[in-house]
Structure 1
Amino acid sequence: METTKRGKVPLYLWMLLGFAAGLGGGLYVNLTGQVVIPEVMEIIRSVGQIFLRLLFMLVLPLLFSALAVGVAEMGDLKSLGRVGYKTLLFTVMVSAIAVGIGLGMVNVFRPGDGVDPLLAQQLLAQGAEGASAIVGSAPQSIEAGQFFLDMIPSNVVTAASENQILPVMVFALIFGIGMVMAKSRATDQLQETLQGVFEVMMKLINLVIKLAPIAIAALMFNLAAVFGWDLLVRLGAYALVAVGAMAIHMFIVYPLLVWIFGGMNPLKFAAGVKEPFVVAFSTASSNATLPIAIKAAEENLKLPKRISRFVLTVGATANQNGTALFEGVTVLFLAQFFGIELSVGQQLIVMLVCILGGIGTAGVPAGSLPVIALILVMVGVPAEGIGLILGVDRFLDMCRTTLNVTGDLVAATVVSRGETDAVVPVDEPLPAVAPPD
């Protein structure tokens, strides 16, 4: 997450202040039994709803443009050929592993359990109306073969108008592949246009996120007034499970990938990526860490420059393993918190959207918020619950950014295996050959 201009209070501190203010006010109401004037409570709920509606308004064009451009960049046939496809395949595979670990941890430890079911149902009833007003359609079950059929929209415009996020993301994925296959001057211009759409959405998301401190205060007040101290206990359990899942992916999955598929000693890899590791954790920004990561890949890991620069540049915006894992953990935690049991089919939906969302939430401060909010209403969980996790989001943002950056370096190591920089440019003359004796 980025901060405001130098000399001003960073945005994440304002968010933390809003979290503390809302939590404190809500706990006071809960513990003292104070009755809040209904009109005031309605205004407080409306503030949170406005924030959520702004996120939903921007999420589909953001995801479509980011996913289509991300796939088009990863599959640049003319410049890197098979390297682009290897990068795309690796990104999807490792994101699936990350989300699988996250979902497994939440199902085993169940950090959202323990709240009063009656209170959960009370807030669930409050949030259901607001959520349904924002997103109307949500797949609730999976029948044999029907799920995969529903992933392919018969009319993408209708799917978008009904906020069916998964079919739209699948269309964006296919659209990006189509731009690669039909590579031409016109498709290059189309890609630039989509890049422009993405940048506009990023700017607007940044503006909306500036409203987050006020929205967090409103959302947290409503939650704390209902749940009291149970809120803090569940929040601590959620943070521990999220960090634990990230640690498993970082210290078990990544070393195995580097060793088995990258052909490199994991200890050598760890020594080579220390600097980008620290910078990613301290800045919580993949883009800010990119120059440090490129330097480490070329000087410490000795990876081919043309491969590492391509993979790391694309990965900084599209290979978001930590973000995908975080989204999956958060959705299941909030479902448990509100007493909603998600079936295996619904969890599969969450997993697929998180994998695609890891490509589609590129480089945006708190950019996972729209994806999380939309997944929540897809599976019938009040999007208002998102205010609960924003209080600890700064620390988790640092952790998942570190996971993202390290994953980019792992991808560069794996994709670089068997590749070299020995490519003779077309416009460079061949070396002179000595005449025969």
Structure 2
Amino acid sequence: MAGILKAPLHIKMMIGFAVGLLAGLAVNLGVGADAAWVEWLTSNVTGPIGQLFLKLLFMLVIPLLFSALAVGVAEMKDLPSLGRVGWKTLAYTVIVSTIAVIIGLVLVNVFQPGRGVDPAVAQSLLAQGREGAGEIIARAPPSVGGPSFFLDIVPSNVITAAAENAILPVMFFSLIFGIGLVLTRHESAGRLKEALEGLFHVSMTLIDLVIRAAPIAIACLMFNLAALFGWDLLTRLAAFVGVVLLALGLHMFVVYSASVKVLGGMSPIAFFRAVRAPMLVAFSTASSNATLPTALLAAESNLQLPRRVSRFVLTIGATANQNGTALFEGVTVLFLAQFFGIELNLMQQITVMLVCILGGIGTAGVPAGSLPVVALILGMVGVPVEGIGLILGVDRLLDMCRTTVNVTGDLAAAVVVGRGEPMGPEDAEPMEPLIDPPLRA
């Protein structure tokens, strides 16, 4: 018992996932989901505990996204003189993030990992959790499209938008606010930026505390889900994990290889050889922020990029260039929509894609940082938010994989942006390579 308590958080999450899943399957196969005591337990114990965890995430997501996105834009320092480096970084980030989300959405539409669930069972689960997520689901727009959609992105009152969990207006305001911080030449603007950085770190500290309760919440959520779905849950989860890993693999080894070769003028083999160390750190920590020092060293010593370029691109990229996260969010939203039998039309899927691209910018580069964004997108398009409990238990593995894609994408962006940029005086100082130096094509 003492060993379990001292185990790493991701091990505890896996244990919670296994305990909840096995207990739920035992109930489903043994007594059935209709037993009176099972209904009482899921309604009065396990259900409320899982909903409390989700509510705590919702409580913190708005301050986290606002501060992360505004500070990420403000880090660009000087928009008028940003020049080639800034605009090349922005263009690359938007284009590659869009490609990532498109890959995810295409694969989830082709393979349909969430299809095949008994509609009656899915509706039963939906009704069970509707009260806990009622606030968000009630405010989700019935349809998305037309000029009104683009007008609604601009909030007439950002406080009201935040209170209604309207994610796109809040993100738009955060982007504009960050640009305002860059353009304002006053010491008070600098102090405000520091205050926003403080808000970001406080939000991250609180989310870390909430995530520490995840093993218990996962066990409760998985018990409820497994008790209702039985063995069908396992096949659906396996299909979901397979689609996510396939999409991440295609983006990593096809899109990044092509961009590094065509746009960066570097051999993909040499590139991946040079960034093995940060990839390993990213996979083991599941944190883009924690990997940043190793990524900077690899960019400057192994990839031999100009330091001003690598430091700008990688620092911004740790928050703003998270292709793997954007891809994962899109696949997860469509998977859960399929799981609950909710049809998302083309315009709604485009909306999901746009929010995922912005969400990749605003998502914190820490373990489980994308879960609050996924929860908000679910509520926005009318998919039951409690369904996020389905993927919590397998999220650690997927988080490690998508963080590796994120960090590799930041380094690929640095190669592309750094091509043709002159080396500065600071680059003359020799650095010890992390591994064998790469071979430029």
Q: TM-score when scaled to structure 2?
A: 0.91
How do 1:271-290 and structure 2 match up within 5 A? 271-290=273-292
Cα separation, 1, equivalents of 2:225 and 2:170: 32
Q: Does 1:227 find its partner at 2:225?
A: no
AA aligned to 1:18 is: G
AA aligned to 2:87 is: Y
In structure 2, the residue matched to 1:53 is: 55
Cα separation, 1, equivalents of 2:328 and 2:172: 21
Secondary structure at the counterpart of residue 362 of structure 1: coil
Unaligned runs of 5+ in 1: 1-6, 425-437
Number of matched pairs: 420
AA aligned to 2:40 is: E
Cα separation, 2, equivalents of 1:60 and 1:145: 26
Choose which of 178, 190, 193 in structure 1 pairs with 2:192. 190
Q: TM-score when scaled to structure 1?
A: 0.92
In structure 2, the residue matched to 1:214 is: 216
Identity of aligned residues (%): 67
In structure 2, the residue matched to 1:428 is: none
Choose which of 129, 132, 138 in structure 2 pairs with 1:130. 132
How many angstroms does 1:260 deviate by?
Answer: 1.9
Deviations 1:56-98 (A, max 9, x none): 1111111011011111113544885442332223222211111
Deviations 1:187-230 (A, max 9, x none): 21111111111111001100110111111111111111111000
Deviations 1:290-341 (A, max 9, x none): 2221222112211101111221122123321111111111111011111111
In structure 2, the residue matched to 1:33 is: 31
Secondary structure at the counterpart of residue 412 of structure 2: helix
Q: Contact conserved, 2:340 with 2:383, CA < 8 A, in 1?
A: yes
Q: Contact conserved, 2:101 with 2:330, CA < 8 A, in 1?
A: yes
Cα separation, 2, equivalents of 1:390 and 1:142: 28
Cα separation, 2, equivalents of 1:190 and 1:135: 34
Cα separation, 2, equivalents of 1:177 and 1:141: 31
How many angstroms does 1:134 deviate by?
Answer: 4.6
How do 1:252-401 and structure 2 match up within 5 A? 252-401=254-403
Q: Contact conserved, 1:290 with 1:316, CA < 8 A, in 2?
A: yes
Cα separation, 2, equivalents of 1:377 and 1:288: 30
CA RMSD after TM alignment: 2.0
Secondary structure at the counterpart of residue 129 of structure 1: coil
Unaligned runs of 5+ in 2: 427-441
AA aligned to 1:223 is: L
How many angstroms does 1:421 deviate by?
Answer: 3.0
Cα separation, 2, equivalents of 1:71 and 1:352: 18
How many angstroms does 1:36 deviate by?
Answer: 4.7
Cα separation, 2, equivalents of 1:331 and 1:400: 16
AA aligned to 2:29 is: L
AA aligned to 1:10 is: P
In structure 1, the residue matched to 2:15 is: 17
Cα separation, 2, equivalents of 1:62 and 1:282: 24
Q: Contact conserved, 2:324 with 2:402, CA < 8 A, in 1?
A: yes
How do 1:48-127 and structure 2 match up within 5 A? 48-74=50-76, 76-77=78-79, 81-127=83-129
Q: Contact conserved, 2:74 with 2:179, CA < 8 A, in 1?
A: yes
Cα separation, 2, equivalents of 1:190 and 1:58: 20
Secondary structure at the counterpart of residue 248 of structure 2: helix
AA aligned to 1:138 is: A
Q: Contact conserved, 2:285 with 2:367, CA < 8 A, in 1?
A: no
Cα separation, 2, equivalents of 1:120 and 1:416: 50
Q: Contact conserved, 2:78 with 2:183, CA < 8 A, in 1?
A: no
AA aligned to 2:312 is: F
Deviations 1:81-125 (A, max 9, x none): 442332223222211111111111101101001111111111112
